[in-house]
Amino acid sequence: MAKNKLKIAVYAISKNESKFVERWIDSMKEADAIYVLDTGSTDDTVEKLRNLGAIVKVEEIKPWRFDVARNKSLELVPEDVDVCVCTDLDEVLESGWRTKIEQTWNNANRMRYKYNWSIDDSGHPIVTFLYEKIHDRQNYKWIYPVHEVLTCSKPSEITVVNEDIVLNHYPDRQKSRSSYLPLLELSVKENPSDDRNMHYLGREYMYYQEWNKAIDTLLKHLSLPSSTWKEERSASMRFIARCYLSLQRQEEALYWYNKAIAESPNQREGYVELALLEFERKNYLNVIINGLKAKTILQNEMIYINEPFCWDSTIDDILSISYYYLGLKDEAVFYVNKALEYAPTDERILKNKEIFLN
């Protein structure tokens, strides 16, 4: 007897995303149905979605919260659906994803898969981590006003992993994220002991150049009993260091970069940021020490905290210049050639090579 096929639905929220509709629908059409909650588009997003077969409901969410919108979009999915796939319209699932879900699901509750959050102009992923927004219909709810999280009501959730399922993110760089800060402040107000939201709020203050607020908030993150994920703790320490640099307090920045390294010594990020600071200070021997330590870490773990500049030409570039200033031209040429493997058309690096060879 043939095995019954899973009933699979995609669901999403949208607002003024007309330019993404056709590409998104094309990548989602392996589903049995596509459901979208449009939260107030003033362009032709809704018309395009409906013309291409999506089932669309229009409802404004006031006051705006991502979790409320996500839950209302999930409510559009019929109860008899086996697997729900939550995506955004600026994301694209690589073809064949449905078959891969069916091969892996095995009565699971949730699935983890590869998410290329950041992709360079050549199409190469530069920040990749595992995502988990594929889930069953019955047991899930979204929480938090922003950076929302999918929570499971089952005491014994079954999660499966298929890294052959790939979701690519092609964001609209012009889209405002101005709502994020007040929503993160609300998240922390509602859940002051939640370490994840505290970290995100501190990072957001840093983005807004609220240096002292960022430092205070990131210190709160580090003090929370639930703050135990070393990689995220290390990121908070690096962000504190960045804030102190912006406040022209280099010694405190050095202190926090070293703490970040001690917290998570198997990540490149702390070494690279410290090397960059030492480069600015013209401490070229320290640049080499930290840059070479960073290069011994070969595994780019699939976590959202990864920084793209730790895996591109940056390390080799500053190593080459540091060796040159220390009078070690052979090493300078070696590392400038390594930098050009990542950035073969970079005119500054090419000019450096000419200088090193003379």
Query: Between vectors from CA 57 to CA 51 and to CA 62, what angle results, nearest 5°?
Result: 140
Boundary (domain end) residue, out of 169, 184, 209: 169
Residue 55 has phi, psi (to 5 degrees) of: -95, 115
**Structure confidence at residue 53 (pLDDT):** 97
Strand, coil or helix: 97: helix
- Which residues on neighbouring strands pair with residue 4, listed in sequence order? none
Distance CA 151, CA 351 (A): 53
Number of folded domains that form the chain? 2
DSSP codes joined into one string, 164-178: EEEEEE---TTS--T
Given this model, what pLDDT does residue 3 score? 52
CA 50 to chain centre: 30
Choose among 138, 142, 143: nearest CA to 157.
Answer: 138
> Is residue 155 included in any domain, yes or no?
yes
CATH code of the domain covering residue 23: 3.90.550.10
Which of 169, 199, 229 finishes a domain? 169
CB 269 within 8 A of CB 307: yes
| Any domain includes 119 | yes
Q: Which helix (H) or strand (E) holds 71?
A: helix 66-75
DSSP state, 158? -
Judge whether 304 lies within some domain: no
- Residue 188: enclosing H or E segment and its boundaries? helix 180-190
Residue 120 inside a domain? The answer is: yes
Mean pLDDT of successive 10-residue segments in the chain (358 residues)? 76 97 98 98 98 98 97 98 98 97 96 93 85 96 97 96 97 81 96 96 97 98 97 98 98 98 97 98 98 94 87 96 98 98 95 96
Q: Supply 176's token pair.
A: 């405002």
pLDDT for 250 = 96
Which ranges of 282-328 does DSSP label H, i.e. alpha helix?
A: 284-295, 314-325
Length of the chain: 358
The gap from C-alpha 254 to its chain's centroid, in whole angstroms, comes to: 26
Residue 151 within any structural domain of the chain: yes
Query: Quick check: is 248 in a domain?
Result: no
Domain ranges, residue 41: 8-169
- Residue 4's pLDDT is what? 57
- Give 156-160's long-range contacts (Cβ < 8 A, gap of 24+): 157/109, 157/110, 158/107, 158/108, 158/109, 158/110, 159/108, 159/109, 159/110, 159/111, 159/112, 159/132, 160/104, 160/105, 160/106, 160/108, 160/110, 160/111, 160/112
Among 58, 40, 42, 62, residue whose Cα is nearest residue 50: 58
Which residues lie below 8 Å from residue 107, measured CB to CB, with a gap of 6+?
158
Task: Check residue 2 and give its pLDDT.
Answer: 39
Within-domain flag for 351: yes
CB 88 within 8 A of CB 104: no
Q: Which of 150, 169, 188 finishes a domain?
A: 169
Residue 243 falls inside a structural domain:
no
In Å, how far are 95, 106, 140 from 11, measured between CA atoms? 17, 21, 13
State how beta strands 110-119 and 125-135 pair: antiparallel
